[in-house]
Amino acid sequence: MEKVIFFDTTLRDGEQSPGASLTSSAKLTIAKQLAKLNVDIIEAGFPIASEDDAYAVKLIGKEVKGPIICAFARCVTKDIEVALKSLEVAEHPRLHLFLATSEIHRKFKLSKTKDEIIKIARDMVRFSAKYIDDIEFSPEDATRTEPDFLLQVCETVSKEGVKTLNIPDTVGYAVPEEYGALIKFLREKSPDNVVISVHCHNDLGLGVANSLIAIKNGARQVECTINGIGERAGNASLEEIAMNLIIRKDHYKVSVGLETKHIYRTSKLVSSLTGIPVQPNKAIVGENAFRHEAGIHQDGVIKYRKTYEIMRPQMVGIPESSLVLGKHSGRHALNLRLKSLGITVDEEKLDRIFEQFKNLADKKKEINDLDLIVLAEQEIMPSIEPVYILEYFHILSGTSTLPSATVRIRKKDEILEDASLGDGPVDALYKAIDRIVNLSPKLQDYKISSVTGGKDAQGEVVVSLMIDNLSVVGKGLSTDIIEASARAYLNAINQFFARKSITKKKYRGA
């Protein structure tokens, strides 16, 4: 069977989701997990977009081995030069060029004629080919481009050395039948040594369907993101495409090189670092994807699992069984259970996870597998040296009193304490913290989500702050939602100081 190449663009197109900005260290953490998942290509960023994005591409190119590392660039000389500079240390570099080709983009965005588009595409690919062998080209808004002109563009860049032609459904406009026909048309007209790739957006909910029919019609590279994140309604979901090709290999007749047991862990990591939750009914990785509540379903699964499960949860890294752990459990038992969940940590990290585990066990009677995964993620995620650490807080609130908060924070060896009134307990808490740290953040977003089940569930708070024209995101986890709110707010403030430190540095290479 021919192999489908998985091109993951979580770190480029996925990061363009509103509110999903990632630091270079967070991008590196995700890239390492994508390498464990064994994706073929990682699109690490859009280097011209920012200094930190360029640094992230170079850092990933240096630290992540195995996958091809790709940088995105417009058909503009400066874009290409910055992208190539970012790719210098990558073991297997790829340059991804794009240029809009549809009539609506030519007329209203670029103000260019067809001949001008052809010339720009040819000249920029010819320029790039002097410095790099692996070039991919995307005619932006391909599905709204006249087919004959689209073919002319593709033929032009292929002659100049492009090895991968990506046909993006940039605005999710295509329907499967016409998209499949377009891919078949281009496959038949293109040289055999050129790979046809697809990049589908989900504006009409057809991103995965369009990607699959494209593969059926000859595409052998698929561009997608973890959890389907991306611009507007997102991109085609990597996990959904992969499991369709695997479970229905009788229909698609292609092979997949992914290590699918890492899908769930990768999904959770991306959700945690971007602050974008996964909907419970999301296929493959949603909380309910392998849960059965209806009596008829439960009876069927008990008698024979395949009556209602077309895939085993272990295939994507979701533990099927649960182990009850409580406050009397020991460090050795915790380590064994973590290993059974595919989580291996060193002694120092295990000590910290165990400490958090014991704290949680005092609040919850039973700790399940998802609790353990969440605790481990908090430790494994990229960390910063915190400037401020929460020591203590006290809230006074009720229907007959104005909410107040007293907060004690440690800054190195110094203990700082202050109090404030507020419109609510969280507002009072945040005002007290503002007084201590002597900042005036603007709260842009505040989200609460339950990351485990039950009345004593762990709750995660994600806050987005604007401080001195810098947008930062903080996360906090606790069974007490007020405590989670305080930790998220302080985490965002600590991220602010870390980001300020990064922006002061000049772009130096990894």
pLDDT digits (tens, 9 = 90+) for 414-432: 999 999 999 999 999 999 9
Domain membership of residue 141 (yes or no) is: yes
427, burial (CB in 10 Å: exposed 0-12, middle 13-18, buried 19+): middle
Tokens of 319: 């533990």
Judgement on whether residues 194 and 205 belong to the same structural domain of the protein: yes
Rounded average pLDDT over 271-284: 92
Last residue of a domain, one of 282, 305, 320: 320
Domain membership of residue 204 (yes or no) is: yes
- Nearest Cα neighbor of 13 from 156, 172, 161 is 172
Judgement on whether residues 132 and 172 belong to the same structural domain of the protein: yes
Judgement on whether residues 139 and 217 belong to the same structural domain of the protein: yes
Strand spans (E) along 13-106:
41-45, 68-74, 93-100
Confidence of residue 292 (pLDDT cuts 50, 70, 90): low
Cite the DSSP H helix spans in 147-292: 147-159, 176-189, 207-216, 238-247, 249-252, 263-274
pLDDT digits (tens, 9 = 90+) for 322-365: 344 666 667 777 887 788 777 788 898 889 888 888 888 777 66
DSSP letter at 255 equals E
Judgement on whether residues 120 and 231 belong to the same structural domain of the protein: yes
**% of residues, the chain, pLDDT over 90:** 67
Cite the DSSP H helix spans in 38-173: 51-63, 77-86, 103-105, 114-128, 147-159
Domain membership of residue 425 (yes or no) is: yes
Judgement on whether residues 342 and 361 belong to the same structural domain of the protein: yes
**% of residues, the chain, pLDDT over 70:** 90
In the chain, the number of structural domains is 4
Domain holding 330, by residue range, is 322-381
How far, in Å, are 32, 292, 319 from residue 342 at the CA level? 15, 24, 9
Q: Are strands 164-169 and 254-256 parallel, antiparallel or unpaired?
A: unpaired
Instruction: Indicate the annotated binding residues for Mn(2+).
Output: 13, 199, 201, 235
First to last CA, the chain: 39
Look-up of token digits 């991919």: 136
How far, in Å, are 11, 225, 484 from residue 17 at the CA level? 10, 11, 24
Judgement on whether residues 254 and 303 belong to the same structural domain of the protein: no
> If phi over 0 gives left and psi between -120 and 50 gives alpha, with beta otherwise, what is residue 115?
alpha
Judgement on whether residues 25 and 136 belong to the same structural domain of the protein: yes
pLDDT > 60? residue 42:
yes
Instruction: Report the CATH number at residue 395.
Output: 3.30.160.270
Judgement on whether residues 136 and 266 belong to the same structural domain of the protein: yes
Judgement on whether residues 302 and 354 belong to the same structural domain of the protein: no
Residue 311, phi then psi, degrees to nearest 5: -150, 155
Domain membership of residue 165 (yes or no) is: yes
Name every residue whose Cβ is closer than 8 Å to that of residue 459 and which is 6 or more positions away in sequence: 448, 449, 450, 451, 477, 478, 479, 480, 481, 484
Judgement on whether residues 376 and 411 belong to the same structural domain of the protein: no
Last residue of a domain, one of 331, 351, 381: 381
pLDDT > 60? residue 507:
no
Judgement on whether residues 8 and 80 belong to the same structural domain of the protein: yes
Confidence of residue 145 (pLDDT cuts 50, 70, 90): very high
Confidence of residue 27 (pLDDT cuts 50, 70, 90): very high
Instruction: Indicate the annotated binding residues.
Output: 13, 199, 201, 235
Paired with 225 in beta bridges are 237
- The residue that leads in pLDDT, 305 or 393, is 393
Domain membership of residue 280 (yes or no) is: no
Rounded average pLDDT over 27-44: 98
Domain membership of residue 509 (yes or no) is: no
Rounded average pLDDT over 461-469: 87
Instruction: Report the CATH number at residue 60.
Output: 3.20.20.70
pLDDT on residue 470: 81
Domain membership of residue 279 (yes or no) is: no
- Nearest Cα neighbor of 40 from 239, 247, 259 is 259
Domain membership of residue 36 (yes or no) is: yes
- The residue that leads in pLDDT, 435 or 303, is 435
pLDDT digits (tens, 9 = 90+) for 150-162: 999 999 999 999 9
Element (H, E) at 394: strand 389-398
Judgement on whether residues 499 and 474 belong to the same structural domain of the protein: yes
How many CB atoms are located within 10 Å of the residue 288 CB? 11
